[in-house]
């Protein structure tokens, strides 16, 4: 018997459907990699370490986070995260500001350059490869692809809600 919330293996799925699902998983993985490549290349040019990237992700998504909150989010020691923050600050990627209500707490914010990159460049880098690929096909084929992707998402969401 399967645990609650976990999908069960179904023996009533045909070999042909199982093979198609496996091929689709592989294709979706390759599509995701291709779509993310330009952004990953841009980030790599910044020369950030993996922990610095993780810290920037939290700081950008939770502007005004404290060092303690960042340490918790990253599951790293306060002293380790403090060093990461020091290096990011020296590189001009984040800034520290005193909390307006409690001057003992320092809040972390991305700098204007980072915020501008996240708002303006990241969306272009993320959708660029997909948009370029879609420009190569007819409007009708773009509509078919869009419909098929939406339908697959709906089917997956429906299956998820049925198993809950």
Query: Would you say 109 and 97 are in contact if contact means Cβ atoms under 8 Å apart?
Result: yes
Tens-digit pLDDT profile for residues 51-61: 998 899 899 99
Q: Give pLDDT tens digits for 60-73.
A: 999 899 999 999 99
Strand ranges of the sheet holding 94-98, from the earlier edge strand across to the other edge: 65-66, 106-110, 94-98
User: 């419909």: which residue's tokens?
Assistant: 147
When pLDDT is cut at 50, 70 and 90, the band that residue 10 belongs to is low
Phi-psi region of 64 (alpha: psi -120 to 50; beta: other; left: phi over 0): left
Which residue intervals of the chain bear CATH 1.10.10.10? 47-110
**Residue 50 and residue 56: Cα distance in Å, rounded?**
10
- Residue, of 24 and 6, whose pLDDT is higher: 24
Domain boundaries 47-110, CATH class: mainly alpha
pTM score, two decimals? 0.61
């Amino acid at each position: 018997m399967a645990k609650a919330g976990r999908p069960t293996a179904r023996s009533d799925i045909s070999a042909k459907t199982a093979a198609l699902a496996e091929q689709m998983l592989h294709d979706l993985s390759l599509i995701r990699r291709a779509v993310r490549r330009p952004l990953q290349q841009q980030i790599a040019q910044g020369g950030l370490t993996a922990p610095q990237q993780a810290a920037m992700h939290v700081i950008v998504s939770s502007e005004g986070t404290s060092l303690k909150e960042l340490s918790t989010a990253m599951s790293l020691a306060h002293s380790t995260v403090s060093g990461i923050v020091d290096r990011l600050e020296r590189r001009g990627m984040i800034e520290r500001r005193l909390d307006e209500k409690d001057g003992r707490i320092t809040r972390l914010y991305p700098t204007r350059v980072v915020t501008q990159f996240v708002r303006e460049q990241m969306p272009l880098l993320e959708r660029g490869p997909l948009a370029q690929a879609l420009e190569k096909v007819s409007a009708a084929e773009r509509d078919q692809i869009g419909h098929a992707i939406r339908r697959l998402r709906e089917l997956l969401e429906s299956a998820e809600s049925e198993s809950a």
